Every structure is written in C-alpha cells, then in structure tokens.
C-alpha cells in the first residue's frame, strides 16, 4: 500500500509544494525562508519517520504568518490524502518528549473530526525568526486539513526554543504512532462507525 501524497498550493501570498511519505525513514528537504520553522518541520520528519519535502515561497516581507499557516494547510492536506480510507491505521497516538527543562505532550486521533486543543505558553515572543504565536496557527491549520483531533500541551519549560522543539518532536512521535499500520487489523477501519 502506497501512503504518499503531493500538494501544490498557490495564492497571492504563498506558493507551496509539500510531499509526504508516511512510510519513510525521516528524510527531509525543507525550505520556508524561516530558519527555525525549517528546523521544526525537520523534527516532525525525523521523529515521525516520514519523508517530507516542503518548499514555500511566501510574503515574508509582511511577516511569517501566511507562510507558516499555509504550510500547515498543505501538510494537513497531504497527510489526509496519504492516509486514504485509514484502513488498518492505529488511529490514536501520543507522546511525551522532554528537552532539558521543557516537557511537551501530544495526543492525536485521526477521527475525521478536526479539533485543536492548545495549551502552550511560550516564554518569549520570538524564537529565532519565528513569531511564537505562529506554531498554534500551524497546528490549527494542519489539524483542520488532516481532519484530526489534536491535543498539544507544554507541561513545563523556561526556554522558548526548548518548549517549541519539544512540542514539534512530540507531535512527530505521536503522528508516527497514530499513522502506523496495525498488523492485527490492517484491513479494518478502526471505528465502530465503519468510517473515519
């Protein structure tokens, strides 16, 4: 079963290409024009064991908002497309990831019902060139377009870089678990409804 997808998305604000292979090895080729955001997307690939390409040309002369949110839209669409009918997936995934003093938890349900619960209070307004308000916008766009229920909590942290990196790593690990194929029920959609 092939679980990969490509999304091209172009607006007056951004031009984006995203390619995802859910059964990859963690290879990433990322270029968004925002260095720290590139680093975070690389964390998703490496810890999610997905192969990920993201190319984004955005109106960074305005700010990073459109680029970050639109990458979330395109990545969410790609993940949703790659999952197909979701037959055989584990469906649920969770991960706690520490990074020094910071600790974050992510819980995913590929429920078909988009929802984001976000409890992250960054200790700085900027993390490198990334506005610390934008990770929430990224995950909101991603969860909406992948049709996943997503809970992200930063349980503790002092350094904003550590907080953010632990969030993205925990998301990658939870994604890996939820999207994995369950060998015991690989031809079954994991829902009593018969659809997700």
Q: What is the mean pLDDT of residues 7-14?
A: 98
Residue 97 lies inside a defined structural domain of this protein: yes
Residue 46 lies inside a defined structural domain of this protein: yes
Per residue in 57-96, pLDDT (tens digit) is 999 999 999 999 999 999 999 999 999 999 999 999 999 9
Q: How does the average pLDDT of the chain come out, rounded? A: 97
> Residue 101: CA atoms inside 13 Å, Cβ hemisphere, count?
6
Q: How far apart are CA 29 and CA 98, in angstroms?
A: 25
Residue 51 lies inside a defined structural domain of this protein: yes
Residue 193 lies inside a defined structural domain of this protein: no
Per residue in 134-180, pLDDT (tens digit) is 999 999 999 999 999 999 999 999 999 999 999 999 999 999 999 99
Q: How far apart are CA 163 and CA 153, in angstroms?
A: 10
pLDDT confidence band for 1 (50 / 70 / 90): low
Residue 179 lies inside a defined structural domain of this protein: yes
Residue with tokens 């015991």, as numbered in its chain = 184
Q: How far apart are CA 158 and CA 161, in angstroms?
A: 9
Enumerate residues 6+ apart whose C-beta is below 8 A from 64: 34, 37, 58, 129, 130, 131, 134
DSSP label at 27? -
- 112 or 192: which leads in pLDDT: 112
Contact 133, 8 (CB under 8 A): no
Residue 194 lies inside a defined structural domain of this protein: no
Q: What is the mean pLDDT of residues 26-35?
A: 98
Segment holding 31, helix H or strand E: strand 28-31
Contact 165, 43 (CB under 8 A): yes
DSSP label at 34? -
Residue 55 structural domain: 4-185
Asked if pLDDT for residue 194 goes beyond 80, the answer is yes
Query: Which residue, 13, 4, 55, 18, is CA-closest to 142?
Result: 18
Number of domains in the chain: 1
Q: What is the mean pLDDT of residues 124-137?
A: 98
Residue 195 lies inside a defined structural domain of this protein: no
Residue 36 lies inside a defined structural domain of this protein: yes
pLDDT confidence band for 185 (50 / 70 / 90): confident
Q: Please report, for the domain that includes residue 151, its CATH number.
A: 3.30.230.40
């Amino acid at each position: 079963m092939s679980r990969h997808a490509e999304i091209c998305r172009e607006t007056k604000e951004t031009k984006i290409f995203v390619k995802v292979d859910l059964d990859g090895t963690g290879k990433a080729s990322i270029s968004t024009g925002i260095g720290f955001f590139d680093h975070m997307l690389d964390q998703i690939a490496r810890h999610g064991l997905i192969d990920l390409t993201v190319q984004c040309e955005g109106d960074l002369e305005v700010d990073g908002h459109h680029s970050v949110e639109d990458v979330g839209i395109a990545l969410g669409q790609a993940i949703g497309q790659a999952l197909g009918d979701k037959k055989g997936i584990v469906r649920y995934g969770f991960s706690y990831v520490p990074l020094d003093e910071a600790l974050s938890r992510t819980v995913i349900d590929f429920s078909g019902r988009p929802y984001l619960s976000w409890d992250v209070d960054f200790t700085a307004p900027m993390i490198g060139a990334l506005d610390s308000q934008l990770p929430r916008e990224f995950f909101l766009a991603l969860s909406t377009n992948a049709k996943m229920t997503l809970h992200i909590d930063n349980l503790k942290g002092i350094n904003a870089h550590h907080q953010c990196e632990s969030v993205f790593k925990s998301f990658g690990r939870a994604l890996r678990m939820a999207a994995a194929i369950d060998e015991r029920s690989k031809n079954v959609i994991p829902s009593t409804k018969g659809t997700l």
